[in-house]
Structures are given as structure tokens and as C-alpha cells.
Amino acid sequence: MANLRAGLIGLGMMGRHHARVLASLPGVDLVAVADPGGDVHGVSGGRPVEADIEALIGHGLDYCMVAVPTVYHEAIGLALAEAGVHAMIEKPLAQDTASSTRVAEAFEAQGLVGAVGHIERYNPALQQARSRIEAGELGEVYQVITRRQGPFPARIADVGVVKDLGTHDIDLTAWVTQQEFVSVAARTTHRSGREHEDMVSVVGQLSLGTITNHLVNWLTPFKERLTVITGEKGSFVADTLTADLTFHANGKTEQAWDAISKFRGVSEGDVVRFAIAKPEPLRTEHEQFRDAVLGQDADIVTMAQGLRTVRVAEACLESAATGTTVALDVS
């Protein structure tokens, strides 16, 4: 079987990493790249560098990776769908619910494989957490807390922190628990003088009763990527910067001290940091999408799931603007 012919549009900070992975992915030939600003990072490897999506499509692509600013996702996605090219689009799917719906519907109508680049799903710590939750190691899931904090990335100009970073936490929370968001209450602030919000705090409720809390900002002078999943048997702590997963078990030792023994909660038990394989998440993401295009079993973030994440993100912004809790329909 001939290798799949892949293209890449967007050669910025993320695009250069996509180019590196696509250029070395078994079963795939990266045949051309595109960016109206040219190959500023020198990642083309001698391949043709086009200026727009139409020229890139002209190279006879089987699929395309889209790593352009969010505001261009809809136009490029629709052009690829019309040309019959499978595509993975960096998160979020598009700039709002309406544009995301049009992209998702276009790919579905053409019978194409469409995916969204929510890379955190492929972090080894979260992959392990989900599989262990499915195996019953945590029991019923009570709460998911995420903290995604760090300095402002100058490359982001067209969306705020909710759609740029918060969509990671919305997607991973729904995926790791296999539940949907049914309501959100959020507060945002603008501290850096930009049009869009740069800090958000969200409280959410999931479809099986799990409660969530998400702190996301571009105003912290250190980088933190933490997910804490608490259930009836203990807590998983996933650090996606280091891909470490730690389990804090509920204690089983009876307390002799009368004042403590009357407390009907949990106590500290064993702590285990799992030794897990740590493949690069971006490579895993591309391997899964390649397999999906080939019609094989694959774990991709579908455009329907990406659309749902955009809806939740917009509900967070609506909640912040109105000071109310916003309910979401569960499809």
C-alpha cells in the first residue's frame, strides 16, 4: 500500500512540531506545507512551501494538518472538506459554535475523517488515568480539578484563555470521566490589557454527578499543568508536564484517637507513583489520526466532540458575562 500523502498548513510554533512528526511518521509522506508568511522556522525539509490552502490541496493530499490561528479554521476546514481531504484541525475546532458546526457538518456530509488536536488526551498520565478509572481502580468519580497556569504566550492574539487553554481541560475532563458537562459557572478577568480574557475560574457539573473545578490563566510566572481526579477509593494526580501519574489511596488503618475516629470521611493511605511508558503525545495523536484515515481502530477527538467542547467554552464565557450558571443540553 502506498503511503498516505499529507500536507500541513501553518508553520508557526505548533506547526513546526507537527512538521517534525509528520516527516518521520511511518506510512505517511509529508508532501508539501503552506503558510502565507513562509517557512520562518525552516521546517519544510526541502518540500514545496505554498502560500494558501488551495495550492496545498493541489498536491493531491489524502489528509491535512491545520495549525493556523483559530480565526482561519473555518475557511480552511471547509475548503478541505469540499476537496475531499481528511483533516485534523488544532484546537479549538473553530472560533465559535456556529463556525464549528459548519465545519463538523461539512466533514460528516462528505464522509471524511475529521479530528481536533486536543493533544492532552494523549498525555501518558491521562491515558493511564482513564484506563485505570475504566478498570474501577478509583470507584465512583466524585470530582475533577484542573490547574493550567503560566505566563502569557505572545503568539496567541485571536482568542482568550478559555478557548485557547481552557478547551484542553474541558475536553480531557469529559474524556477521562466519560461524562458530559451539564452546567458551568465561571468568572473571568482582563489584566493584561488585551481584548480577550486572560484568567478564568470555572465550576462545572457532569452528567453523572461529578463536580469539576478549572483554574486557567496567562498571568502566573510559572507553568503548571495538573489534573486531580478524586473518587471513592482515593485520588489520581496527573502532572502532564512530566507525564507522571500518582495514586493517593484512602487509608484503611483504624484510628485509635477518639476525636479522629468519629470523623466519617477518609484518611491518608498509601501513595504510589506509577512507572509508565511516556511516548510523545503529539506523535501518538498523529499515529491515531493516520490509523483513522486508513479505516483502522483509532482513538481520535472527533469533530462532534470538538464542537461539544466549543459549546462548553462559550457557556463559560456566557456565565462570566451574565453572572449566572449556564445549563448545557446533553446530546
Instruction: Sketch the domain layout of the chain as residue ranges.
Output: 4-119+283-301, 121-278+310-327
pLDDT at 1: 74
pLDDT at 331: 66
Superfamily of domain 4-119+283-301: NAD(P)-binding Rossmann-like Domain (3.40.50.720)
Contact predicate 7/59, CB 8 Å: yes
4-119+283-301 against 121-278+310-327: fold identical: no
* Distance separating alpha carbons of residues 274 and 285, to the nearest angstrom: 22
pLDDT at 106: 98
pLDDT at 268: 82
The series of mean pLDDT values per 10 residues for the chain, 331 residues long, is 95 95 98 96 96 98 97 98 98 97 98 97 98 97 97 76 96 97 97 90 98 97 97 97 97 62 70 96 98 97 98 98 95 66
pLDDT at 157: 64
The fold adopted by the segment(s) 121-278+310-327 is Dihydrodipicolinate Reductase; domain 2 (3.30.360)
pLDDT at 256: 57
pTM of the model: 0.92
